[in-house]
Every structure is written in C-alpha cells, then in structure tokens.
Structure 1
C-alpha cells in the first residue's frame, strides 16, 4: 500500500499483525492490545504530516518504540515492588577481596602441609579425601590393609589440622 492516509481500513488490515507482533514480544495479550491501540492512535494523530509510503513497517517501528517506552516505565515502577524474600536473590554472593585472600592463604597452608607429609600418607589422603575412594579401594590401589589406610588417613588429617590451625581460627 502506498501513500494511504490513516483510515479505518488501515486499522482493519494491520491491527492483528501489530497485536501479534507485540504479543510475541510481551506474552501479555492485554498489554499487546493496549499498545496496538496506542500505535493506531498515534498514527491517526499525525494527520497533517506527509503520507506514509509503507504503513506496515512504519507501524512495526512505532509499536517497537511504544514497547520500549512501556518497558522503561514498567521496570522503573517494578523496582519498588519486590518482596523482601526476593531481595535476597539480588545480592552479590561473590566474596570480597579480604575473604578471597584469607581463603587462598588457607589453601596455600594446606598444600604446604600436604607437601611435608610422607609420600604414603599423602597418597592415602589424596585417594580418600580428594578423589573420594573408599578405604577398601584405597587399600587395593596402594596394596595396604584397610586398617593401614585408616591409620595413614587419621595421621594425615591430624597433621594437616595441626599445621594449619592458628589462634585466630
């Protein structure tokens, strides 16, 4: 259609397309209907301007702008309506630099303590606590008895705790 003035015929021809366009972007039939009405109201209000050569692309553009304006207003309005339990989901759970530093220091202390352990105790600790093997699995892998694995693990854990424990913990 070329150079058609906004008439009821334009409304009849394009209203379903514009409303579907808006509904697909909002998922809200009432909002889509309201914005469609606003779109055609603005089209009719521009009666003194030059005629529109291609009304459908113009209407899609106008509808997109109206939707953007609506979302801006709506998002501003919504910020004050969050329930207190929903506010928790907005918090930043990332640790601050002080927590990250302290955590890294503790990891370094544990790694240093592990490095000082005898090789067999260190391997038992790795198999049972790091890799998640059971005592019998670790015993088979290291060709030890289950009770030896338990003793090595107990010694390793006690040593690591003693080496990493500070008075401020």
Structure 2
C-alpha cells in the first residue's frame, strides 16, 4: 500500500535534503534531488514499501551517484592563460637549440680526436644504432674488438669532458 506522500514529505523531506546537501555542498541541487526522489516514488505506485525512510534514502543515494557521474562527464577543467604560458612548448627555445648545437659540436670534436677505426665503430653503434654484432659483421671484426673500441671511445670522451 502506497503511503500518503504529503505526510512522508513533511516527515522526511527536510532530513533528506540535509543529507544530500551535506554530500553535495549545494542546497539547490539537494532540493532538486529531493523532489526527484519523491517523483521516483510517485512513478512506481505498484511498489510495496516496508520502510519508507530507507526506501527514500536508497533512491536519494542513487540519484546522488547519478548526479555526480553526470557532473564528472560534463566537467571541463578550465585553465588560466597564465598557466598555459608556463606549459612546456613542443619546440625547444632558441637558447636550448643553441646550447644543443654547442654540445653536439663538442662531441663531434671529441669523436674526431679518436682513431679512424674507433670513429667508424662509434658512429655505427651510437649514431646508426647497430648492435655490436652488426658492427662486427659490417667491419669484418670480432664483437670483442667492437666492445674494446667503444670502451676506448667512451673513456676518451668521458675523460675529456671531465677535464673541461
């Protein structure tokens, strides 16, 4: 049997609104959800209700969950123009480009100080991306020789970079 909704509303409407307002922080939305809760009860007159208060809270909780999901879908985060200016650009700054060129020139100079064979091995491995085995096949030398030349190149470059 369906209870008299005006009595139920006057008995539970206020506490239901307080419950929703505490969770939402917005009295207007809480009032809307209370109305939706009672509309939900009205739309199901055939439902047998044992505990009307528990039933109202269950409906209100479900409406609250749905409301939060909808808000999350609708939400678009705004960003202040100042924050956009601080974001990293896709392209390096002119200073970064100049610094990278200087570093690259230093490395090229250090590589040119190496014996020609070591330069070739270093370029094939570190620039062209060949594995030790591929460099060995390409130059018809052992993998061990490739490793020794690379170790020599790295030790030389590390020593020269630390000395600066």
Q: What TM-score range do you get, normalising by the shorter chain?
A: 0.3 to 0.5
Q: TM-score, normalised by structure 1?
A: 0.46
In our comparison, the structure showing a higher alpha carbon Rg is 2
